[in-house]
Amino acid sequence: MPTAFAQSPIIIKFSHVVAVDTPKGKAAEFFAKRAAELTKGKVKVEVYPNSQLYKDKEEMEALQLGSVQMLAPSLSKFAPLGVKEFEAFDLPFIFDDYNDLHAVTQGPVGAKLLKKLESRGITGLAYWDNGFKVMSANKPLKSPEDYKGVKMRIQSSKVLDAQMRSVGALPQVLAFSETYQALQTGVVDGTENPPSNLYTQKMHEVQKHLSITNHGYLGYAVVVNKKFWDGLPADVRAALNKAMVESTKVANDVAFQDNQDALAKVKAAGKTTIYQPTLGERFLLKKAMFPVHKQMSSRIGEETINEIYKVTNFDPTKM
Ligand code: LMR
C-alpha cells in the first residue's frame, strides 16, 4: 500500500473559493459527512471554503501538485489547463434551462469532457450546478447598448471575454476573492454571477442594479488528483463514488433553491434595483451575443459545440 494511505484516516483536502452558505459550500460539507459515514471513518474530508487556502488560479496548481486532493472549480476555469472545450459551457444563451443543461452534464457529452482532464493529471467525478447568471452594475442594464464602456469582472475565460465585448463592455479577469473589493472601489463597474454567489459575497451592497438576464450558466466540475484517486483502496473509492452521487443530488437541489432565495434576499436588502427583462429585451441581448458562438468555435472545437447543440435541440440557423 502506498505510504500516503498507510496513515489513518486518509485526508482529503477539498478547497473552494465560495462561501460556506452556497450550493457548492453546502454540497462540499455534505460530501465530507457522507464520505466519513460510508467509509466508516477511513476518510476524513477537510473542506476549506472562501479561498481560505487557495485562490482560483492557485487551487488548480495545488491540485496538480497534490497539495490538495479535491476541488470544484467552475467550468470556466478549466481552459487555462489547456482543456478549452470546457468553455462551451460559457457560451451565452447556449442553454435555455436546466433540462438543456442536464442533458449535457448528465449525459455522454459531459462524461467525454471530464475524460479530457485525465491527461492533465485530473480525474473528473461529477458536475455540480450553481445556476444561471444575472448581470449587475451601478447603472441599469436593459438593452445591449447599456453595456457600452462598462467595466465588467469576468472569470478567466476567453468566451466570457468575447461575450462582454460583443455588447461593448470592457471585461476584466479577476479572481473571485478579489471581486467584491474591485466593485467597491470602482476598479470594475459590474459583473455577472448566479444570485447565490452575488448575495453570499455581499456584492449587492456595492451594485445598484441587477438584471435577471439568465444569459449564461455557471456550474462546477468536482475533480480529484488522479494519482491520489487511482491509489486509493478500491472499497474506499467505491464508497466515495457513492458519497459523490448523493452529494451531486444535494448540490443540484440546493442550487436551484438557493438562487431563488438569494434573489429574494437581495430584494429584501433594498440596496439593489432588480430588473426583469422582457422577452423582447432578452432576445435582443441574445442576438447581440450569439455571434460569440461562431467566433469561439475554432477555439472550443466545433465538434463539442455541435454535440451540445444536438442534445439541447439548439438550432443556430434560427438565430
Ligand atoms: C467565479 O469566479 O465567479 C466563480 O467561479 C466562483 C465559484 O466558484 O462559484
Tens of pLDDT, residues 86-113: 999 999 999 999 999 999 999 999 999 9
CA distance 235 to 221: 23
Mean pLDDT, rounded, for 259-264: 98
Tell me, in angstroms, the distance from the centre of ligand 1 to residue 44's CA: 25
C-alpha to C-alpha distance for 54 and 48, rounded to whole angstroms: 9
The response to whether residue 255 sits with its C-beta less than 6 Å from ligand 1 reads no
- Give the C-alpha separation, 29 to 111, whole Å: 24
Residue 1 — pLDDT band, cuts 50, 70, 90? Answer: very low
Res 265 pLDDT > 90: yes
Cα 144 to its chain centre, rounded Å, is 24
Residue pointed to by grid coordinates 432576445:
283
- Mean pLDDT for 33-49 is 98
Instruction: Give the confidence band of 5 by pLDDT, cuts at 50, 70, 90.
Output: low
Average pLDDT, rounded, for the chain: 96
How confident is residue 149, by pLDDT bands cut at 50, 70 and 90?
Answer: very high
Q: Is 157 in the pocket of ligand 1 (CB under 6 A)?
A: no
Cα gap 142→250, rounded to integer Å: 34
User: Cα–chain-centroid distance for residue 131?
Assistant: 8
Reported residue count of the chain is 319
**298 CB neighbour count, 10 Å cutoff:** 9
The ligand 1 atom at the shortest distance from the C-alpha of residue 76 is 5
Going by DSSP bridges, is the β-strand pair 134-137/170-173 parallel, antiparallel, or unpaired?
Answer: unpaired
Q: Atom 3, ligand 1: which residue's CA is nearest? A: 176
Give distance in angstroms: CA of 176 to centre of ligand 1.
6
Distance CA 237, CA 234 (A): 5
Helix (H), strand (E), coil (C) string for the chain: CCHHHCCCCEEEEEECCCCCCCHHHHHHHHHHHHHHHHCCCCEEEEEECCCCCCCHHHHHHHHHHCCCCEECCEHHHCHHHCCHHHHHHHCCCCCCCHHHHHHHHCCHHHHHHHHCCHHHCEEEEEEEEEEECEEEECCCCCCHHHHCCCEEEECCCHHHHHHHHHCCCEEEECCHHHHHHHHHHCCCCEEEECHHHHHHCCHHHHCCEEECCCCCEEEEEEEEEHHHHHHCCHHHHHHHHHHHHHHHHHHHHHHHHHHHHHHHHHHHHCCCEEECCCHHHHHHHHHHHCHHHHHCHHHHCHHHHHHHHHHHCCCHHHC
Give the mean model confidence (pLDDT) for residues 152-156: 97
Going by CA atoms, what residue is nearest to atom 2 of ligand 1? 176
Residue nearest to atom 1 of ligand 1 (CA): 176
* pLDDT reading at 319 higher than 90: no
Nearest atom in ligand 1 to 74's CA:
5
- What is the percentage of the chain residues whose pLDDT exceeds 70? 98
- Is the pLDDT assigned to residue 179 strictly greater than 90? yes
Q: Establish whether residue 130 lines the binding site of ligand 1, counting it when its CB lies within 6 angstroms of any ligand atom.
A: yes
Q: Is the CB of 75 under 6 A from ligand 1?
A: no
Calpha distance 14→55 (Å, rounded):
13
Three-state SS sequence of 254-313: HHHHHHHHHHHHHHHHCCCEEECCCHHHHHHHHHHHCHHHHHCHHHHCHHHHHHHHHHHC
- The answer on pLDDT for 317 being more than 70 is yes
Our answer on whether the CB atom of 176 is closer than 6 Å to any ligand 1 atom is yes
CA 237 – CA 213 distance, rounded (Å): 40
* Cα–Cα distance for residue pair 48/26, rounded to 1 Å: 12
Residue 155 CB less than 6 A away from ligand 1: yes
Q: Tell me the CA–centroid distance for residue 152 and ligand 1, in Å.
A: 14
Sheet holding 209-211, edge to edge: 170-173, 151-154, 190-193, 134-137, 209-211, 273-275
